[in-house]
Structure 1
Amino acid sequence: MRRACLVLLASIYWTLGCAAVKFDLPAVTPANIENSKRCLSQYVPKDTLVFARVNVGPGYNQRVDIEIVDDAEVPNVYTKKKGISGEITNAFDTRADAEISICFKNTLPDGFHEAPEYSRPIEVNFNVGAEAVDFETLAKKEKLGPLELELRKLETVVKEIVSELTYLKRREARMRDTNENIYLYCY
Protein backbone atom coordinates (compact mmCIF):
# COMPACT_ATOMS: atom_id res chain seq x y z
CA MET A 1 0.00 0.00 0.00
CA ARG A 2 2.81 2.42 0.93
CA ARG A 3 4.56 1.59 -2.34
CA ALA A 4 1.42 2.34 -4.35
CA CYS A 5 1.00 5.66 -2.54
CA LEU A 6 4.63 6.55 -3.17
CA VAL A 7 4.29 5.77 -6.90
CA LEU A 8 1.06 7.80 -7.10
CA LEU A 9 2.65 10.72 -5.28
CA ALA A 10 5.69 10.63 -7.55
CA SER A 11 3.46 10.54 -10.65
CA ILE A 12 1.57 13.61 -9.45
CA TYR A 13 4.81 15.48 -8.77
CA TRP A 14 6.22 14.58 -12.21
CA THR A 15 2.99 15.60 -13.93
CA LEU A 16 3.02 18.96 -12.17
CA GLY A 17 6.67 19.53 -13.07
CA CYS A 18 7.97 19.38 -9.51
CA ALA A 19 11.72 19.72 -9.16
CA ALA A 20 12.25 16.71 -6.90
CA VAL A 21 10.67 13.95 -4.84
CA LYS A 22 11.97 13.60 -1.28
CA PHE A 23 11.37 10.76 1.16
CA ASP A 24 13.01 8.86 4.01
CA LEU A 25 14.08 5.30 3.21
CA PRO A 26 13.99 3.05 6.30
CA ALA A 27 16.84 0.59 6.76
CA VAL A 28 16.06 -3.10 7.18
CA THR A 29 17.97 -6.31 7.76
CA PRO A 30 18.99 -8.37 4.71
CA ALA A 31 16.18 -10.86 5.43
CA ASN A 32 13.51 -8.16 4.90
CA ILE A 33 15.16 -6.27 2.05
CA GLU A 34 12.63 -7.17 -0.67
CA ASN A 35 9.72 -5.94 1.48
CA SER A 36 11.33 -2.54 1.99
CA LYS A 37 12.20 -1.82 -1.64
CA ARG A 38 10.89 1.61 -2.72
CA CYS A 39 10.33 2.41 -6.39
CA LEU A 40 9.31 5.49 -8.38
CA SER A 41 8.02 4.84 -11.89
CA GLN A 42 7.11 6.77 -15.01
CA TYR A 43 6.22 5.73 -18.55
CA VAL A 44 8.81 6.92 -21.08
CA PRO A 45 8.71 6.37 -24.88
CA LYS A 46 11.56 4.75 -26.80
CA ASP A 47 14.62 6.87 -27.73
CA THR A 48 13.84 9.54 -25.13
CA LEU A 49 16.53 11.25 -23.09
CA VAL A 50 16.20 10.64 -19.34
CA PHE A 51 18.23 12.44 -16.69
CA ALA A 52 18.12 11.20 -13.11
CA ARG A 53 19.82 12.95 -10.21
CA VAL A 54 19.70 11.19 -6.85
CA ASN A 55 20.94 12.62 -3.57
CA VAL A 56 21.31 10.17 -0.67
CA GLY A 57 21.66 11.74 2.76
CA PRO A 58 23.81 10.47 5.63
CA GLY A 59 23.02 7.38 7.66
CA TYR A 60 25.05 5.38 10.16
CA ASN A 61 25.86 1.79 9.06
CA GLN A 62 23.38 1.72 6.19
CA ARG A 63 23.96 0.75 2.58
CA VAL A 64 21.66 2.22 -0.06
CA ASP A 65 21.45 0.45 -3.42
CA ILE A 66 19.84 1.91 -6.55
CA GLU A 67 18.57 0.27 -9.71
CA ILE A 68 17.08 2.00 -12.74
CA VAL A 69 15.31 -0.49 -15.01
CA ASP A 70 12.40 -0.60 -17.45
CA ASP A 71 9.58 -3.13 -17.75
CA ALA A 72 10.07 -4.06 -21.42
CA GLU A 73 9.74 -7.71 -22.52
CA VAL A 74 13.47 -8.00 -22.02
CA PRO A 75 14.13 -5.52 -19.18
CA ASN A 76 16.86 -2.96 -19.78
CA VAL A 77 19.00 -2.10 -16.77
CA TYR A 78 20.23 1.49 -17.05
CA THR A 79 21.95 1.71 -13.65
CA LYS A 80 22.66 -0.70 -10.83
CA LYS A 81 24.88 0.60 -8.03
CA LYS A 82 25.45 -0.57 -4.48
CA GLY A 83 26.47 1.54 -1.51
CA ILE A 84 25.68 4.95 -2.95
CA SER A 85 26.06 8.07 -0.89
CA GLY A 86 25.85 11.73 -1.73
CA GLU A 87 24.79 12.84 -5.20
CA ILE A 88 24.86 10.65 -8.29
CA THR A 89 23.63 11.52 -11.77
CA ASN A 90 22.74 9.34 -14.69
CA ALA A 91 21.65 10.25 -18.21
CA PHE A 92 20.53 7.70 -20.78
CA ASP A 93 18.32 7.19 -23.84
CA THR A 94 15.53 4.68 -23.40
CA ARG A 95 15.67 1.51 -25.49
CA ALA A 96 11.95 0.63 -25.47
CA ASP A 97 8.50 2.08 -24.89
CA ALA A 98 8.29 1.14 -21.23
CA GLU A 99 7.83 2.21 -17.66
CA ILE A 100 11.12 3.30 -16.11
CA SER A 101 11.50 2.48 -12.41
CA ILE A 102 14.05 3.87 -9.99
CA CYS A 103 14.24 1.45 -7.06
CA PHE A 104 16.03 1.88 -3.74
CA LYS A 105 17.01 -0.53 -0.97
CA ASN A 106 18.51 0.44 2.40
CA THR A 107 20.27 -2.44 4.16
CA LEU A 108 21.62 -2.73 7.68
CA PRO A 109 24.73 -4.86 8.28
CA ASP A 110 24.56 -8.07 10.34
CA GLY A 111 24.24 -7.44 14.06
CA PHE A 112 21.98 -4.39 13.69
CA HIS A 113 18.23 -4.48 14.29
CA GLU A 114 15.61 -2.43 12.52
CA ALA A 115 14.70 0.78 14.35
CA PRO A 116 13.08 4.11 13.44
CA GLU A 117 16.39 5.97 13.76
CA TYR A 118 17.84 3.92 10.89
CA SER A 119 16.71 5.69 7.74
CA ARG A 120 18.28 7.85 5.06
CA PRO A 121 16.79 10.84 3.27
CA ILE A 122 16.52 10.38 -0.50
CA GLU A 123 15.94 13.14 -3.05
CA VAL A 124 15.15 12.16 -6.65
CA ASN A 125 15.08 14.56 -9.59
CA PHE A 126 13.84 12.75 -12.72
CA ASN A 127 13.67 14.67 -16.02
CA VAL A 128 12.43 13.24 -19.31
CA GLY A 129 12.76 14.50 -22.88
CA ALA A 130 13.05 18.26 -23.29
CA GLU A 131 13.25 18.68 -19.51
CA ALA A 132 16.42 16.54 -19.48
CA VAL A 133 18.33 18.63 -22.02
CA ASP A 134 20.82 21.10 -20.57
CA PHE A 135 20.02 24.05 -22.82
CA GLU A 136 22.43 26.42 -21.07
CA THR A 137 25.39 24.21 -21.96
CA LEU A 138 24.01 23.81 -25.49
CA ALA A 139 23.71 27.61 -25.84
CA LYS A 140 27.33 28.12 -24.80
CA LYS A 141 28.59 25.30 -27.01
CA GLU A 142 26.73 26.44 -30.13
CA LYS A 143 26.93 30.15 -29.27
CA LEU A 144 23.17 30.65 -29.40
CA GLY A 145 21.50 33.93 -28.56
CA PRO A 146 18.49 34.11 -26.24
CA LEU A 147 15.98 33.98 -29.09
CA GLU A 148 17.76 31.09 -30.81
CA LEU A 149 17.90 29.22 -27.51
CA GLU A 150 14.18 29.68 -26.96
CA LEU A 151 13.47 28.46 -30.49
CA ARG A 152 15.64 25.38 -29.85
CA LYS A 153 13.65 24.63 -26.68
CA LEU A 154 10.38 25.01 -28.55
CA GLU A 155 11.63 22.80 -31.37
CA THR A 156 12.49 20.06 -28.87
CA VAL A 157 9.09 20.29 -27.21
CA VAL A 158 7.28 20.21 -30.58
CA LYS A 159 9.23 17.10 -31.62
CA GLU A 160 8.17 15.41 -28.39
CA ILE A 161 4.53 16.32 -28.97
CA VAL A 162 4.62 15.00 -32.55
CA SER A 163 6.28 11.79 -31.35
CA GLU A 164 3.67 11.33 -28.62
CA LEU A 165 0.80 11.96 -31.07
CA THR A 166 2.29 9.44 -33.52
CA TYR A 167 2.51 6.88 -30.72
CA LEU A 168 -1.11 7.55 -29.69
CA LYS A 169 -2.26 7.20 -33.30
CA ARG A 170 -0.52 3.81 -33.63
CA ARG A 171 -1.97 2.70 -30.31
CA GLU A 172 -5.48 3.78 -31.29
CA ALA A 173 -5.19 1.83 -34.56
CA ARG A 174 -4.09 -1.31 -32.67
CA MET A 175 -6.97 -0.97 -30.22
CA ARG A 176 -9.46 -0.38 -33.03
CA ASP A 177 -8.21 -3.49 -34.86
CA THR A 178 -8.48 -5.53 -31.68
CA ASN A 179 -11.98 -4.24 -31.05
CA GLU A 180 -13.09 -5.06 -34.61
CA ASN A 181 -11.61 -8.56 -34.39
CA ILE A 182 -13.40 -9.22 -31.10
CA TYR A 183 -16.66 -7.85 -32.53
CA LEU A 184 -16.41 -10.09 -35.61
CA TYR A 185 -15.52 -13.10 -33.47
CA CYS A 186 -18.48 -12.60 -31.13
CA TYR A 187 -21.10 -12.14 -33.87
Structure 2
Amino acid sequence: MTLAASPLRCFYAIFVATLLLIAPANAIKFEIQAYRYPPAKCIWNTARKGELVIVTANVGPGEGQRLDVEIVDSGPEKNVYLNKRGIVGEARFAITAHNDEGDVGVCFRNYLDVAEGGKPKTRVIDLDVDIGADAVDYNAIANQESLSALETEMRKLEGVVKEIVDELNYLKKREERFQSTNMSTHSRVQTFAWFTLFSLVGLGIWQIFHLRAFFKRKYLID
Protein backbone atom coordinates (compact mmCIF):
# COMPACT_ATOMS: atom_id res chain seq x y z
CA MET A 1 0.00 0.00 0.00
CA THR A 2 2.78 2.41 0.89
CA LEU A 3 4.75 1.71 -2.30
CA ALA A 4 1.62 2.03 -4.44
CA ALA A 5 0.52 5.27 -2.82
CA SER A 6 3.93 6.91 -2.97
CA PRO A 7 4.14 7.37 -6.79
CA LEU A 8 0.56 8.68 -6.83
CA ARG A 9 1.39 11.16 -4.10
CA CYS A 10 4.51 12.26 -5.97
CA PHE A 11 2.49 12.72 -9.15
CA TYR A 12 -0.06 14.92 -7.38
CA ALA A 13 2.68 16.94 -5.71
CA ILE A 14 4.49 17.53 -9.01
CA PHE A 15 1.23 18.42 -10.77
CA VAL A 16 0.24 20.92 -8.08
CA ALA A 17 3.72 22.46 -8.08
CA THR A 18 3.55 22.84 -11.87
CA LEU A 19 0.18 24.60 -11.66
CA LEU A 20 1.47 26.89 -8.94
CA LEU A 21 4.53 27.75 -10.99
CA ILE A 22 2.49 28.73 -14.05
CA ALA A 23 0.10 30.82 -11.93
CA PRO A 24 0.72 34.59 -12.17
CA ALA A 25 2.48 36.29 -9.30
CA ASN A 26 0.43 39.15 -7.86
CA ALA A 27 2.92 40.38 -5.22
CA ILE A 28 4.65 43.71 -5.73
CA LYS A 29 6.83 46.03 -3.65
CA PHE A 30 7.17 49.72 -4.46
CA GLU A 31 7.75 53.19 -3.07
CA ILE A 32 5.14 55.93 -3.15
CA GLN A 33 5.97 59.60 -2.68
CA ALA A 34 3.90 61.90 -0.48
CA TYR A 35 2.26 65.07 -1.86
CA ARG A 36 -0.21 67.62 -0.53
CA TYR A 37 -2.53 66.60 -3.37
CA PRO A 38 -1.23 63.19 -4.41
CA PRO A 39 -2.20 61.35 -7.62
CA ALA A 40 -3.53 57.83 -7.31
CA LYS A 41 -1.11 54.95 -7.89
CA CYS A 42 -3.18 51.93 -8.96
CA ILE A 43 -2.21 48.28 -9.30
CA TRP A 44 -4.61 46.39 -11.59
CA ASN A 45 -5.39 42.66 -11.66
CA THR A 46 -7.89 40.73 -13.75
CA ALA A 47 -10.85 39.40 -11.76
CA ARG A 48 -14.13 38.04 -13.10
CA LYS A 49 -17.57 38.43 -11.56
CA GLY A 50 -18.04 36.47 -8.33
CA GLU A 51 -14.33 35.89 -7.68
CA LEU A 52 -12.94 36.48 -4.22
CA VAL A 53 -10.12 39.05 -4.06
CA ILE A 54 -7.87 39.26 -0.98
CA VAL A 55 -5.65 42.35 -0.76
CA THR A 56 -2.82 42.37 1.76
CA ALA A 57 -0.85 45.61 2.08
CA ASN A 58 2.17 45.95 4.36
CA VAL A 59 2.78 49.68 4.72
CA GLY A 60 6.18 50.90 5.85
CA PRO A 61 6.68 53.77 8.30
CA GLY A 62 6.15 57.32 7.06
CA GLU A 63 6.32 60.25 9.46
CA GLY A 64 4.05 63.13 8.49
CA GLN A 65 2.32 61.02 5.84
CA ARG A 66 -1.18 59.56 5.53
CA LEU A 67 -1.84 56.66 3.17
CA ASP A 68 -5.35 56.07 1.83
CA VAL A 69 -6.41 53.02 -0.17
CA GLU A 70 -9.35 52.54 -2.53
CA ILE A 71 -10.37 49.36 -4.37
CA VAL A 72 -12.26 49.93 -7.63
CA ASP A 73 -12.94 48.15 -10.90
CA SER A 74 -12.64 49.19 -14.55
CA GLY A 75 -16.24 48.40 -15.48
CA PRO A 76 -18.72 50.95 -16.87
CA GLU A 77 -20.25 51.39 -13.39
CA LYS A 78 -16.82 52.14 -11.82
CA ASN A 79 -17.70 50.19 -8.67
CA VAL A 80 -15.92 51.30 -5.49
CA TYR A 81 -15.58 48.27 -3.21
CA LEU A 82 -13.62 49.82 -0.38
CA ASN A 83 -12.21 53.17 0.75
CA LYS A 84 -9.93 53.34 3.81
CA ARG A 85 -8.03 56.31 5.20
CA GLY A 86 -4.77 56.29 7.11
CA ILE A 87 -3.74 52.64 6.86
CA VAL A 88 -0.55 51.67 8.70
CA GLY A 89 1.33 48.42 9.19
CA GLU A 90 -0.26 45.32 7.72
CA ALA A 91 -3.80 45.72 6.39
CA ARG A 92 -5.94 42.97 4.86
CA PHE A 93 -9.08 43.51 2.78
CA ALA A 94 -11.48 41.07 1.12
CA ILE A 95 -13.93 41.94 -1.67
CA THR A 96 -15.97 40.04 -4.27
CA ALA A 97 -15.74 41.27 -7.86
CA HIS A 98 -19.04 42.45 -9.39
CA ASN A 99 -17.89 43.27 -12.90
CA ASP A 100 -18.45 40.69 -15.67
CA GLU A 101 -15.29 41.73 -17.49
CA GLY A 102 -12.45 43.96 -16.52
CA ASP A 103 -9.85 44.52 -13.83
CA VAL A 104 -9.85 45.27 -10.13
CA GLY A 105 -7.54 48.09 -9.11
CA VAL A 106 -5.94 48.78 -5.72
CA CYS A 107 -5.27 52.54 -5.64
CA PHE A 108 -3.06 54.33 -3.10
CA ARG A 109 -2.79 58.05 -2.31
CA ASN A 110 0.02 59.18 -0.01
CA TYR A 111 -0.83 62.54 1.57
CA LEU A 112 1.79 64.84 3.03
CA ASP A 113 0.30 66.10 6.30
CA VAL A 114 2.83 68.87 6.89
CA ALA A 115 4.50 70.81 4.09
CA GLU A 116 8.24 70.73 4.67
CA GLY A 117 11.16 71.54 2.49
CA GLY A 118 14.11 69.32 1.76
CA LYS A 119 14.13 65.71 0.70
CA PRO A 120 10.81 64.30 -0.62
CA LYS A 121 9.10 61.89 1.74
CA THR A 122 8.26 58.37 0.61
CA ARG A 123 7.12 55.12 2.13
CA VAL A 124 7.38 51.50 1.02
CA ILE A 125 4.35 49.33 0.29
CA ASP A 126 4.49 45.56 0.02
CA LEU A 127 1.30 44.56 -1.81
CA ASP A 128 -0.04 41.05 -2.31
CA VAL A 129 -3.27 40.41 -4.28
CA ASP A 130 -4.78 36.91 -4.27
CA ILE A 131 -7.66 36.15 -6.62
CA GLY A 132 -9.95 33.15 -6.95
CA ALA A 133 -8.42 29.87 -5.77
CA ASP A 134 -5.33 31.68 -4.48
CA ALA A 135 -7.50 33.70 -2.07
CA VAL A 136 -8.94 30.64 -0.30
CA ASP A 137 -7.43 29.84 3.11
CA TYR A 138 -6.95 26.09 2.74
CA ASN A 139 -5.19 25.81 6.09
CA ALA A 140 -8.35 27.02 7.84
CA ILE A 141 -10.43 24.57 5.78
CA ALA A 142 -8.05 21.73 6.66
CA ASN A 143 -8.29 22.53 10.37
CA GLN A 144 -12.07 22.84 10.24
CA GLU A 145 -12.65 19.62 8.27
CA SER A 146 -9.68 17.68 9.74
CA LEU A 147 -8.11 17.11 6.32
CA SER A 148 -4.78 15.39 5.83
CA ALA A 149 -1.93 17.05 3.93
CA LEU A 150 -2.73 15.08 0.78
CA GLU A 151 -6.44 15.92 1.03
CA THR A 152 -5.57 19.59 1.48
CA GLU A 153 -3.37 19.51 -1.62
CA MET A 154 -6.18 17.78 -3.50
CA ARG A 155 -8.61 20.51 -2.40
CA LYS A 156 -6.15 23.13 -3.64
CA LEU A 157 -5.80 21.23 -6.92
CA GLU A 158 -9.58 21.09 -7.24
CA GLY A 159 -9.81 24.86 -6.83
CA VAL A 160 -7.05 25.50 -9.36
CA VAL A 161 -8.58 23.12 -11.91
CA LYS A 162 -12.02 24.74 -11.44
CA GLU A 163 -10.45 28.13 -12.02
CA ILE A 164 -8.77 26.86 -15.22
CA VAL A 165 -12.09 25.40 -16.44
CA ASP A 166 -13.87 28.68 -15.69
CA GLU A 167 -11.16 30.55 -17.58
CA LEU A 168 -11.53 28.24 -20.59
CA ASN A 169 -15.32 28.67 -20.54
CA TYR A 170 -14.85 32.43 -20.36
CA LEU A 171 -12.47 32.36 -23.33
CA LYS A 172 -14.94 30.16 -25.23
CA LYS A 173 -17.74 32.68 -24.63
CA ARG A 174 -15.49 35.51 -25.77
CA GLU A 175 -14.56 33.57 -28.91
CA GLU A 176 -18.25 32.95 -29.66
CA ARG A 177 -19.02 36.63 -29.15
CA PHE A 178 -16.12 37.68 -31.38
CA GLN A 179 -17.24 35.20 -34.04
CA SER A 180 -20.79 36.57 -33.86
CA THR A 181 -19.45 40.11 -34.22
CA ASN A 182 -17.27 39.01 -37.14
CA MET A 183 -20.22 37.37 -38.91
CA SER A 184 -22.41 40.42 -38.31
CA THR A 185 -19.73 42.74 -39.67
CA HIS A 186 -19.21 40.47 -42.69
CA SER A 187 -22.97 40.50 -43.39
CA ARG A 188 -23.13 44.30 -43.16
CA VAL A 189 -20.11 44.74 -45.42
CA GLN A 190 -21.61 42.32 -47.94
CA THR A 191 -24.95 44.19 -47.86
CA PHE A 192 -23.14 47.51 -48.35
CA ALA A 193 -21.14 46.05 -51.26
CA TRP A 194 -24.33 44.85 -53.02
CA PHE A 195 -25.97 48.24 -52.38
CA THR A 196 -22.95 50.02 -53.87
CA LEU A 197 -22.96 47.71 -56.89
CA PHE A 198 -26.69 48.20 -57.58
CA SER A 199 -26.30 51.95 -57.06
CA LEU A 200 -23.45 52.11 -59.62
CA VAL A 201 -25.41 50.01 -62.14
CA GLY A 202 -28.50 52.20 -61.63
CA LEU A 203 -26.44 55.35 -61.97
CA GLY A 204 -24.87 54.02 -65.20
CA ILE A 205 -28.27 53.18 -66.71
CA TRP A 206 -29.59 56.61 -65.72
CA GLN A 207 -26.58 58.31 -67.37
CA ILE A 208 -27.16 56.32 -70.59
CA PHE A 209 -30.80 57.39 -70.81
CA HIS A 210 -29.93 60.96 -69.86
CA LEU A 211 -27.22 61.25 -72.53
CA ARG A 212 -29.51 59.60 -75.08
CA ALA A 213 -32.23 62.19 -74.38
CA PHE A 214 -29.66 65.01 -74.51
CA PHE A 215 -28.32 63.91 -77.90
CA LYS A 216 -31.86 63.60 -79.22
CA ARG A 217 -32.63 67.18 -78.17
CA LYS A 218 -29.49 68.32 -80.02
CA TYR A 219 -30.48 66.24 -83.05
CA LEU A 220 -27.20 64.38 -82.87
CA ILE A 221 -28.92 61.00 -82.97
CA ASP A 222 -32.29 59.77 -84.19
Q: TM-score, normalised by structure 1?
A: 0.84
Deviations 1:24-54 (A, max 9, x none): 1000122xx23xx211001111111111100
- The residue number in structure 2 matching 1:89 is 92
1:57 paired residue among 31, 55, 60: 60
2:43 paired residue among 40, 64, 70: 40
- The residue number in structure 1 matching 2:113 is 109
Aligned length: 168
Ranges in structure 1 where 5+ consecutive residues have no aligned partner: 1-14
Deviations 1:54-84 (A, max 9, x none): 0111111111110011112212222111111
RMSD: 1.7
- The residue number in structure 1 matching 2:177 is 174
- The residue number in structure 2 matching 1:5 is none
Quickly say closer, same or farther: Cα 1:141–1:154, change in 2 above 3 A. same
Q: CA deviation at 1:96?
A: 1.8
Matched, 1:159 2:162: yes
Read off the aligned partner of 1:29 and give its amino acid letter.
R
Deviations 1:145-181 (A, max 9, x none): 1221121111111111111111111111110011111
SS at match of 2:58: strand
Structure 1 residue ranges, 4+ long, deviating more than 3 angstroms after superposition: 15-19, 113-117
2:92 & 2:118 partners in 1: Cα distance? Answer: 30
Read off the aligned partner of 1:105 and give its amino acid letter.
R
Q: CA deviation at 1:19?
A: 6.5
Determine what percentage of the aligned residue pairs are the same residue: 40
SS at match of 1:107: strand
- The residue number in structure 2 matching 1:29 is 36
Larger RCO (CA under 8 A, 6+ residues apart): 1
1:91 & 1:29 partners in 2: Cα distance? Answer: 29
- The residue number in structure 2 matching 1:69 is 72
The structure richer in strand per residue is 1
SS at match of 1:58: coil
2:33 & 2:25 partners in 1: Cα distance? Answer: 24
Q: CA deviation at 1:113?
A: 4.2
SS at match of 2:86: strand
Q: TM-score, normalised by structure 2?
A: 0.71
Ranges in structure 2 where 5+ consecutive residues have no aligned partner: 1-21, 191-222
The structure richer in helix per residue is 2
Whether the aligned pair in 2 keeps the contact of 1:68 and 1:100 (CA below 8 Å) is yes
Query: Which deviates more from structure 2 when the two are superposed, residues 79-88 or residues 92-101?
Result: 92-101
- The residue number in structure 2 matching 1:141 is 144
Matched, 1:100 2:104: yes
2:35 & 2:174 partners in 1: Cα distance? Answer: 42
Read off the aligned partner of 1:149 and give its amino acid letter.
T
SS at match of 2:50: coil
Whether the aligned pair in 2 keeps the contact of 1:28 and 1:113 (CA below 8 Å) is no
